[in-house]
Structure 1
């Protein structure tokens, strides 16, 4: 049986504008600049401080009929034209906010031209006598070398690819023979299939001093014991002294585990970190500035404002004019909202970072990580009266330039624990002390996690062994056995 009834329910929904604002807040400086370029391309009513040709603006206007067909039901008589007319080309926030850094000019990253890593390797193949089939195989192998200098594929996979993509039918033995010639290319170790082969190639290219010969034997015949630092087994296996083993290990440590990274002309795209904020110490006080690239000079296009003005002054308004004004209204609304969103983004970034700076004032004045206070997202969110998710968006992807280097903002957040005196201390402080203890340990007898926990307890930080292990892994420090040295 069907029934009808009324139900009242409160629900909170984000508008499309709020969602886009959250996305803008999350973007770091470089991604934010790309987003602005995209908006400028999509919305002809949005303009920068630079002069654009009228032809470009009208081209985009003429091709955008589909954007406003859905708005035909809007009554153009209800549109207040005066709201869209303004003589001010500069948005208010450009004159009200003064927290820009000195790099408020446009910066273009230059790109260096040069020979790629693959081209560098291919050019060396000309020094070998190779028949047509061998050259094709060699060029395919060179093309399979990754940016670290390795070929991380099996010979059977390479053989299949040669057959399917190059129409070259060959054998694994033939590929192995050509691969040994690729191993003769510079830098030494390039084309290796694993770390052991990479180190072995480099050692066999060296002059055969006793230390080098012993290092070759260790890598070729006892690589597993070497990686696990079973030094006693190595001493017994090769019947050598500790001094000889130490000299051989020093030879191995001089080798390059990533030969591809040593090529100076390697034109890989490098990600440059652009600080979103800068903190300086001026007369003993902290001074925070927002990167000027986060405050672009945007304004509503004068050309589109003039179109609105022309429509207002026209006595006889045709249907095409009414359709045009609906499109112009849509684009002008979007442009005004985008400019307002940028202002809100700036304000949110600055307020959030300012709160973090003052919360961690002792650290920013001294640079001592042990003075970092326990701080979670909620602490800052409560202080600035914003949502935790907003603070998270600012912290996760933004960098700040400090007197002690460029730091990711989320690194300043940490959980707290209670020491033996009942004080709340940051886990970052404990990690720093743990790192210092491990640096000062006797490397011949590294401290186990159990002993590290005992030392921290003596220093006033009663934490369990498993917690020590977790912090050690977060610091990317190996277990005691792998930290051992002769």
Structure 2
């Protein structure tokens, strides 16, 4: 047996990614917002492309423009400055200090500078800074201008006409015990009944630790669904939302010029642009077709969800299931679903939502994570408020039904549902 170097021929299959193929793949993967940005770029680059308005905007009765209106909430700075403007009898030096303080509030409404720093920055007296801060503390929302959480909660309490008498002391000296609901310890320390402590804690829990957050400048998020799933008797009809699709065409005048113009160079240029525009329109149609096929297959797989709603939960579903169903590659399904949304009888959902991750069960089928979350929610809603279930108890209940799940996973799902711990749920 000998070894050595040699040469041999071997055939291998390899797909060549042409620029046009890359463009088709990219267009399929784009979200609606990204697609429209890409369309704008193409319109600027190719004069032969023409665009109408978004399809269906003027005729689609299901499209409500009010759902897409931007929020016009004022900022915290604007809100406070307006109050300062209409508060009389404030000397100009104090007014300037207040304006400086307003400009140094964080997004939650807390003052980021100490009074000593303000005195140094503005070269004013400490007494003037304290007076300015007191005025700022009198503004709405209550608690604004606080320098820490305790001060924020105290300011809000003092702004109320009445409150449990032990509240200020609890906030000042026992805030950590309040947060952990240590009723017995607080009752003994304050020498009051447990019921009095509970009432005081309920008052504190009703306060806002982030008073400035509601004035954050933001645009109301909105989604134009790519797919519409509508119930028709016992069946579901899946369609592409025309409002999310660009409507493009090739300029007829330039198209004729590409055939009739005498200049060879000009004719070649126009023909290339016609070809490019035609391929781009073809990519958009292919995107539409692929998205529709993927959405229909997903609805067929998750039909119980669409019939019964979120309470029914989701079947475990992976990309390969849809890919095999449609005889396409997994990456095609992944690109078609990425960043796309479906309008359903139960609300708007991201297509990725329907590809639920699963956890193993002792019984033959698998239970999706979404199903487990709904089971956790249901049990917490039915629990005795005086004896809420711990995460371990919830895990044991699910395990008793054949679902292998750890306490840590229960805690994770509970937090994702926005539900507090058993200590915080205790009433």
Work out whether the TM-score is over 0.5: yes
Q: Does structure 1 residue 332 correspond to structure 2 residue 274?
A: yes
- The 3 A distance-change label for structure 1 pair 301 and 140 is farther
Q: Does structure 1 residue 457 correspond to structure 2 residue 409?
A: no
Q: TM-score w.r.t. structure 2 length?
A: 0.84
Q: Does structure 1 residue 25 correspond to structure 2 residue 52?
A: no
- The 3 A distance-change label for structure 1 pair 15 and 362 is same
1:45-194 equivalences in 2 (<5 Å) = 45-49=48-52, 102=60, 109-110=68-69, 116-126=75-85, 127=87, 129-146=89-106, 149-151=108-110, 153-155=112-114, 168-169=122-123, 178-194=132-148
Q: Does structure 1 residue 400 correspond to structure 2 residue 342?
A: yes
- Correspondent of 2:290 among 320, 337, 348: 348
- The 3 A distance-change label for structure 1 pair 423 and 306 is closer
- Correspondent of 1:282 among 213, 232, 237: 232
| Distance in 2 (alpha carbons) for counterparts of 1:102 and 1:202 | 48
- Correspondent of 1:207 among 140, 146, 161: 161
- Correspondent of 1:419 among 361, 371, 384: 361
Q: Report SS of the residue matched to 1:375.
A: coil
- The 3 A distance-change label for structure 1 pair 150 and 25 is farther
Instruction: Indicate the RMSD between aligned Cα atoms, in angstroms.
Output: 3.5
Cα shift at 1:174: 6.2
| Distance in 2 (alpha carbons) for counterparts of 1:208 and 1:310 | 86
Query: Runs of 4 or more off by more than 6 Å in structure 1?
Result: 3-9, 171-174
Once structures 1 and 2 are overlaid, which stretch shifts more, 368-377 or 252-261?
252-261
1:288-437 equivalences in 2 (<5 Å) = 288-311=238-261, 314=262, 317=263, 322=265, 324-437=266-379
| Distance in 1 (alpha carbons) for counterparts of 2:387 and 2:64 | 55
Q: Does structure 1 residue 218 correspond to structure 2 residue 170?
A: yes
Q: Which whole-Å deviations, capped at 9, do the CAs of 1:234-271 have from their partners, x for residues lacking one?
A: 212221112212222232233334433556xx763111
Cα shift at 1:295: 3.2
| Distance in 1 (alpha carbons) for counterparts of 2:6 and 2:364 | 61
**Which residue is 1:446 aligned to?**
388
Extract unaligned runs of 5+ from structure 1: 51-93
CA contact (8 A) 2:304 2:312 kept: no
Once structures 1 and 2 are overlaid, which stretch shifts more, 371-380 or 435-444?
435-444
CA contact (8 A) 1:370 1:428 kept: no
- The 3 A distance-change label for structure 1 pair 460 and 276 is same
Q: Does structure 1 residue 237 correspond to structure 2 residue 240?
A: no
Cα shift at 1:173: 8.1
Q: Does structure 1 residue 271 correspond to structure 2 residue 221?
A: yes
CA contact (8 A) 1:159 1:171 kept: no
Q: Report SS of the residue matched to 1:446.
A: coil
CA contact (8 A) 1:299 1:339 kept: yes
Cα shift at 1:217: 2.1
| Distance in 2 (alpha carbons) for counterparts of 1:12 and 1:120 | 60
| Distance in 2 (alpha carbons) for counterparts of 1:130 and 1:117 | 20
Q: Report SS of the residue matched to 2:229.
A: strand
Cα shift at 1:128: 5.5
Q: Report SS of the residue matched to 1:460.
A: coil
Extract unaligned runs of 5+ from structure 2: none
